[in-house]
Amino acid sequence: MRALLLPIKDLKNAKQRLAGALNPGERLGLAHAMMEDTLRAVRGVRRAETIFLVTNYEPAIAIAEECSWEILREGRQISESDSVDAASRIFQERGVTGLLRLPLDLPLVQASDIDGLLGTECELPAMVIVPSRDGTGTNAILRMPPTLFPSHFGPGSFAKHCREAEQAGAQVIVRRNERIEMDVDDEADLRALLRHDLSGTETGKWIEESGVAVRFRAHAATA
């Protein structure tokens, strides 16, 4: 059984690396818009037998309940890596053979992108991984089995995960996908996102209505 895991932290503290470009309210607004786009794509996923959220963030819990997704409530959040690994142990004990972790800041992702990863055919043990836009981070990771090796999310995690998989004797499958790779962690990511067609996305709508798009374009013009 392959399942999808969505770790969601309290978005009020999200996107601190954008502090130099966006105020706290703007960072929260952007994070919420990207979460809505990601969850919209997740609603269309067909290859996940179960969808899990690991979180203590009430707005995300409300959406999960509406969609009948399973919720693993956290008493406290130490780190994303800790949350994912704790959930992986629980779900493997419950018969999950492959667990795909996906972040919540992928405004361009589509259901077909997620299904493509979940449907990867390979011999176990194996890891399917999508790097971040700069090639150093981990934007999606499917581990088969879920506890194949520990998580190391953050800068440099792509190399760490590949090394861990190789040491575990697992097949390493690297997938490149522009939409999954386009997350937004810092100002350079946000500028890159603005070069994409954001029509029909909550993120694009928020960026325009908040005035962030105008501000960034004006800065680019003067630069």
**CATH number (domain holding residue 72):** 3.90.550.10
221 in a structural domain: no
Q: Is the pLDDT of residue 222 over 60?
A: no
Q: Is the pLDDT of residue 211 over 70?
A: yes
Q: How many domains does the chain have?
A: 1
- Residue 13 per-residue DSSP state: G
222 in a structural domain: no
Average confidence (pLDDT) over 154-181: 96
SS3 142: strand
d(CA 103, CA 82): 14
117 in a structural domain: yes
Q: How many residues does the chain have?
A: 223
Instruction: Note the pLDDT of residue 220.
Output: 56
Q: Is the pLDDT of residue 219 over 70?
A: no
Q: Is the pLDDT of residue 221 over 60?
A: no
Tens digit of each residue's pLDDT (9 = 90 or more) over 113-152: 999 999 999 999 999 999 999 999 999 999 999 999 999 9
d(CA 114, CA 51): 12
78 in a structural domain: yes
150 in a structural domain: yes
Helices (H) and strands (E) in the chain, counts: 9, 7
223 in a structural domain: no
What is the pTM assigned to this prediction? 0.93
What is the H or E stretch that residue 29 is in?
helix 24-43
Tens digit of each residue's pLDDT (9 = 90 or more) over 68-99: 999 999 877 778 899 999 999 999 999 999 99
Average confidence (pLDDT) over 46-68: 94
Instruction: Note the pLDDT of residue 151.
Output: 95
Q: What are phi and psi of 78, to 5 degrees?
A: -90, -55
- The domain in which residue 131 lies consists of 2-216
Average confidence (pLDDT) over 47-70: 94
What is the H or E stretch that residue 48 is in?
none
87 in a structural domain: yes
